[in-house]
Amino acid sequence: MTSLRKIRDKEDGTILVFVGMFMVVMIGMAALTFDLGRIASTQTDMQAYTDHVALAAAGELDGNADAITRATAAASGMIDDEQFFADGSQSLGTSADFSLRFLTGLPTPGADPDDNDSVTPFVTTDPARAVLVEVTATPRTVFLPFGRSLASLLGVASPSGEVNSVSIAGYSAYACDVTPLMFCIPSGWTSSANIGASIKLRTGGNNSAWGPGNFGFLDPTDIGINPNGPCAGLTGSKLYICLIAANGNLTKCVSQRGVDTEPGQRNGIGSAIYNSRFDMFQATMNQLKNDPDYAPGPNVISGWDHTGGGCLNNNPTLSTNTIPMPPDDCFDPVSGLCNGSRFGDGNWTSGQAAYNLMNYGVGPDGTLTPHAQGAPTGNTRYQVYLDEVSRAGSGDIVTGRDETGRAQCSSQPSTDPDRRTFIAAAIDCTANPVSGRATDVPVKEFVKVFLFQPLEESTGSDFDIFVEVVKQVGGGVGGSAVDGIFRDVVRLYR
């Protein structure tokens, strides 16, 4: 009995029991941490991979007919990555490692937005409507040795260790500091293939369908008004006059994916708004002739008689020895069309010869001598115009004629040659029907055009505008205030 009491009261080694229990817990936690770490690492690798694939694919979603094809190729061909703990190959970089779905949008966030809200209703195969891409990784299984051992010991199902990831990215092109003008183009037309070609733009009707050559406005509410610009605080027709005619009427950014259009016929918006660039301040523009915000360009050859000096009256006289730049030779003087179209072919050989002869050669009555420097050079009207400005320096553009080519009405002429250019949105109105007001209309491209002759005086709001294609603008970060600022934005949404 004494021995038993000694054994009962002996405490040596008691701590080993607690150490043993603690070691079991610690080893279990270490094992669990090891398994969870492998899952977390694989999840991170997979998520980074789908993020990169989504961004690469989204960068191709520009609304063109081959956008989905290019996006699919970019997804499988641009990204190589790795994972380290899942079964199978460590490499991530082929189309077998993911699947794609293209979306027109995302669910509208509610009071409790959830990234797990289904996007299935937004799936599309139409490249014109695909603005987002969803990338889902092919599931990978991570081997969990300790988790499986513990599950076997406890007699429960082994954890699967399956890892997956989903990413959604989108692309938007934004144009900033552009003129709120749009015009309809023929299907397949591009500015890059028509540099130097002239277009006869006609105001579009309110209710009738618009076709190639009709023009109108972008909704200023959509495009945004610069609060520090000359148009700040204006409304109605005064706002549109400012947006079209003012110098430096910088605007906020508008998405190229979808713009809102306004009719081409608006009260108070007539030919005089555009002719202010030619130093012709008539009708609603008369009070703005000395406002520097509405300065005419440095070259204003218009074909009107300015021998009396000052401003032209409301019934000006045509000059007998100067002419404005003519449209392409194919434009018929009766129909006003080029082979039935408002879009020219860029050939103005005969017109250029007539322009040079009248303005710079021997006068039509034989009494005017040729211009001392000869005729300006250039293949396009815009190039000829720039050459006229450059070689004139501070002097007259033409000499001994009914006009000098310099402003005589405005006391605040501009020195910027691009005062006679616009940045306009080119829209395929056949593929995207427009009949006055329309919303979310995709822009094919933004085009810099040159106003090469003044508009004929109109008594109403219907009129024609002759412009020449200078170049396509946009397509990436950069640009200048003259040619607008364009940004391609690709970002993750989920």
DSSP 36: H
Taking the C-alpha atoms of residue 341 and residue 66, their distance in angstroms, rounded to an integer, is 28
User: Average pLDDT over the chain, rounded to whole?
Assistant: 77
pLDDT in tens, 169-199: 887 777 776 777 888 899 889 999 999 999 9
- b/e per residue 52-85 (b: at least 16 CB within 10 A): bbbbbbbbbbbbeeebbebbbebbbeebebebeb
Q: What is the dihedral of CA 251, 252, 255, 258, to 10 degrees?
A: -60
Q: What is the dihedral of CA 49, 55, 59, 64, to 10 degrees?
A: 80
**Gyration radius from the chain CA atoms:** 35
Computed from CA positions of residues 115, 119, 125, 128, in that sequence, does the dihedral angle turn out positive or negative? negative
Residue partners of 15: CB distance under 8 A and separation at least 6:
none
pTM summary value: 0.71
Q: What pLDDT is stored for residue 487 in this prediction?
A: 65
Q: What pLDDT is stored for residue 255 in this prediction?
A: 67
Beta bridge partners, 190, equal none
Q: If you write DSSP's letter for every residue of 355-407 in order, what string do you get? A: HHHHHHSS-TTS-SPPPTT-----SSHHHHHHHHHHHHTTS-SS-SSS--SS-
Q: What pLDDT is stored for residue 195 in this prediction?
A: 95
Taking the C-alpha atoms of residue 315 and residue 180, their distance in angstroms, rounded to an integer, is 30
Asked whether 175 and 477 are in contact (CB, 8 A), the reply is no
Residue 239 CA from chain centroid, whole number? 23
pLDDT in tens, 208-266: 677 888 887 777 665 566 676 777 777 777 777 787 788 765 565 666 667 777 665 55
Asked whether 82 and 158 are in contact (CB, 8 A), the reply is no
Taking the C-alpha atoms of residue 223 and residue 220, their distance in angstroms, rounded to an integer, is 5
Task: Give percent above pLDDT 70 in the chain.
Answer: 70
Asked whether 310 and 332 are in contact (CB, 8 A), the reply is no
Q: What pLDDT is stored for residue 111 in this prediction?
A: 44
Residue partners of 408: CB distance under 8 A and separation at least 6:
279, 306, 309, 310, 311
Q: What pLDDT is stored for residue 477 in this prediction?
A: 38
Q: What pLDDT is stored for residue 180 in this prediction?
A: 77
pLDDT in tens, 273-318: 788 889 988 777 888 888 888 889 999 999 998 887 788 877 788 8
Burial class (CB in 10 A: 0-12, 13-18, 19+), 182: buried
Q: If you write DSSP's letter for every residue of 44-56 in order, what string do you get? A: HHHHHHHHHHHHH
State the CB neighbour count (10 A cutoff) for residue 135: 26
Taking the C-alpha atoms of residue 402 and residue 302, their distance in angstroms, rounded to an integer, is 10
Q: If you write DSSP's letter for every residue of 303-339 in order, what string do you get? A: SB--TT-S---SSPPBPSS--PPP--TTB-TTT--BT
Amino acid identity of 312? L
Q: Kindly report the CA angle at 383 between 408 and 229, in degrees rounded to 5?
A: 55
Q: Which of 421, 418, 372, 363 is nearest to 395 (CA)?
A: 372
Q: What pLDDT is stored for residue 481 in this prediction?
A: 41
Q: What pLDDT is stored for residue 8 in this prediction?
A: 55
Taking the C-alpha atoms of residue 78 and residue 49, their distance in angstroms, rounded to an integer, is 11
Asked whether 453 and 325 are in contact (CB, 8 A), the reply is yes
Taking the C-alpha atoms of residue 296 and residue 290, their distance in angstroms, rounded to an integer, is 10
Q: What pLDDT is stored for residue 197 in this prediction?
A: 96
- What is residue 41's three-state secondary structure? helix
Asked whether 63 and 70 are in contact (CB, 8 A), the reply is no
Residue partners of 179: CB distance under 8 A and separation at least 6:
243, 244, 249, 422, 423, 424
Q: Are strands 91-92 and 214-218 parallel, antiparallel or unpaired?
A: unpaired
**Per residue of the chain (494 residues), what is the pLDDT tens digit?**
566 555 555 555 556 555 555 555 555 555 556 556 667 777 777 788 888 888 888 888 877 778 888 888 888 777 766 666 666 666 666 777 788 888 887 776 654 545 667 788 888 888 877 888 888 887 777 666 655 555 555 555 555 567 778 888 887 777 776 777 888 899 889 999 999 999 998 876 666 677 888 887 777 665 566 676 777 777 777 777 787 788 765 565 666 667 777 665 555 566 777 888 899 887 778 888 888 888 899 999 999 988 877 888 777 888 989 999 999 999 998 888 999 999 999 999 999 999 999 999 876 666 777 787 888 999 999 999 999 999 988 889 998 889 999 998 888 888 888 889 888 888 888 888 777 677 777 888 888 899 999 987 655 556 788 999 998 876 443 334 445 566 667 778 87
- What is residue 10's three-state secondary structure? coil
Taking the C-alpha atoms of residue 274 and residue 225, their distance in angstroms, rounded to an integer, is 20
Inter-helix orientation angle 14-58/145-154, to 10°: 130
